[in-house]
Amino acid sequence: MSKINILSTAERRKKFFGLIACIAVFTAATAGQIESNQRKEISEEGLTELFNAALFHVRNDYVDEASRQTLIFGAIRGMLSSLDDAHTRFMTSEETNELQTEMRGNFGGLGIEISQRDNVLTVVSPIDDTPAMRAGIKPGDKIIEIDKKSTRDLSLTDAVKQLRGKPGTSVNISVAREGEDEILYFDLVREVIKIQVVTSQFLEKEKIGYVRLKQFNQTATDDLAKAIGEFKKKKMRGLILDLRWNPGGLLDAAHRIGNFFIKSGVIVSTRGRKKELDRVFNADPSAAIAADIPLVVLANEGSASASEIVTGAIKDHKRGKFIGVKTFGKGSVQNVISLMYGTSMALTIQKYYTPSGVSIHKKGIEPDIKVPALDFTKDDRRHYREIRERKLIQEYVKTHPDYSVEAAKKMQKTFADRGLALSDYAAKRALKDEITKNETRPLLDREFDVQLLRAIKELSK
């Protein structure tokens, strides 16, 4: 017959607290051991063993089978993400080919340059005359969902992969925008993005050359030089270099284009951890094809990287006036390193500095003359969404097919009477866009582009 020990309440309490004390001692000892190990620097050999041990257990014990390649690629991405630099990333062979295609200026997608700021997918700039630009995507927009799926913890590489696709297919993105109380939703149709890097027009009356540079890719330098040459034949008296919405590109192209306007001195310098790799890019007098022409640079919150190199050089050398608003602030240099099996890695190796020695990374460049672009107010956007949903503007255009300021004012009053007030600018812009939606937009907008108008005014003095 088994013997049963009956403990008093006091004895049970004594044993319970004794057990708690043992656990506390064990926990404290374990924590102390962990803390000691954390303080101790692990050797290179030890780190390799640690990685292999983790890989072994995942390969052998994880609930689902995972390929070694998937795990190694993931480990590389994890290593690079620990650097907390959105511009440093690993690319598969497919993603490497996509990057090369993009730099050649012909690729499929939405026409949107994205980055990560504070671990949030952020628009750097929509590319001119693309689905993203036409839909109203803006620099600084936070993309929080793609096709109703959260972008939280989504890598930059995976985000680009989701946004791109076959031409004609659609994608929905949800955007949080500063100053907006509600999430904005955009249904975009992918297109083959063919970037005409340089577009230009000569203002005959003012004898001013206007050239828009959309990207610093492999053809940018020659295309811009050709446009400037054509302007010279027409005896231009001033030049407007439009870098708005230009997300950047190649450092070499930025150096050479900056040199077009500056005869001597530093265009840009790059500095990094390895001092022997620091470089100073100086102007070559023989390459300064437009150094004596009065110049205005247009740039804005969508102007980044190489655009800021050129803008910063022109501003620091007092070579021309920068009109617009503060630039994006992307002042780091990436080197695309070819790895094995067609893979590659974009690695931030340096930051660049303007001729005055200033780094604009995460700061941007302030304009000489601040001129904000015209835009819809918060109420404009709210009312305009309802106007579009109810097809009110389409109905109005049926009886007012021609654009005029008077027609816009009449429409403005009609909508205001229904509780859908629009500002003067919003009414004119909305009506004109609806009437001309199937027409090719002119390169220059002398009605609404106040930054362009100020540039013309400055050069006409």
- Domain boundary assignment for the chain: 106-194, 198-332+346-370, 378-447
Distance separating alpha carbons of residues 292 and 289, to the nearest angstrom:
8
Instruction: Please give the model's pTM, rounded to 2 decimal places.
Output: 0.77
Please state, in angstroms and rounded to a whole number, the distance separating the CA atoms of residues 113 and 90: 17
Q: Which of 406, 405, 412 is nearest to 387 (CA)?
A: 412
Give me the phi and psi of 335, to 5 degrees please: -110, 125
Identity of residue 350: Q
- Taking CA atoms, 450 is separated from 14, 35, 323, 365, in Å, by 83, 61, 10, 20
Tell me how far apart the alpha carbons of residues 117 and 130 are, in angstroms, rounded to a whole number: 23
Domain 106-194: what homologous superfamily?
PDZ domain (2.30.42.10)
The tens-digit pLDDT sequence of the chain (461 residues) is 434 344 454 554 554 445 444 444 444 445 555 555 556 789 999 999 999 999 999 999 999 999 999 999 999 999 998 998 878 999 999 888 877 766 665 566 898 888 877 778 999 888 878 899 888 898 889 999 999 999 988 877 788 888 988 889 999 999 999 888 889 999 999 998 877 899 999 999 999 999 999 999 999 999 999 999 999 999 999 999 999 999 998 999 999 999 999 999 999 999 999 999 999 999 999 999 999 999 999 999 999 999 999 999 999 999 999 999 999 999 998 889 999 999 999 999 999 999 999 998 989 999 999 999 999 999 999 999 899 889 999 999 999 999 999 999 999 999 999 999 999 999 999 999 999 987 878 899 999 999 999 999 999 98
CA distance linking residue 132 with residue 150, whole number of Å: 19
Compute CA distances 166 → 119, 192, 299, 342, whole Å.
Answer: 28, 8, 32, 23
Residue 251 CA to its chain's centroid (Å): 17
Q: Which residues are catalytic?
A: 305, 316, 330
The span from the CA of 96 to the CA of 398, in Å, is 49
Q: Is residue 435 classed exposed, middle or buried when 0-12, 13-18 and 19+ CB atoms within 10 A define those classes?
A: middle
C-beta separation of 332 from 314 below 8 A = no
Q: Does 3.30.950.10 match the CATH number of domain 198-332+346-370?
A: no
> Pick from 326, 341, 289, 307: which is nearest to 97 by CA?
341
- Count of residues for the chain? 461
Comparing 106-194 with 198-332+346-370, is the CATH topology the same? Answer: no
Q: Count other C-beta atoms under 10 Å from residue 229's C-beta.
A: 11
The overall longest dimension of the chain from CA atoms, in Å, is 117
Instruction: Say which residues have a Cβ less than 8 Å from residue 359's Cβ, sequence separation at least 6.
Output: 331, 351, 352, 353
Strands 238-242 and 266-272, sheet pairing = unpaired
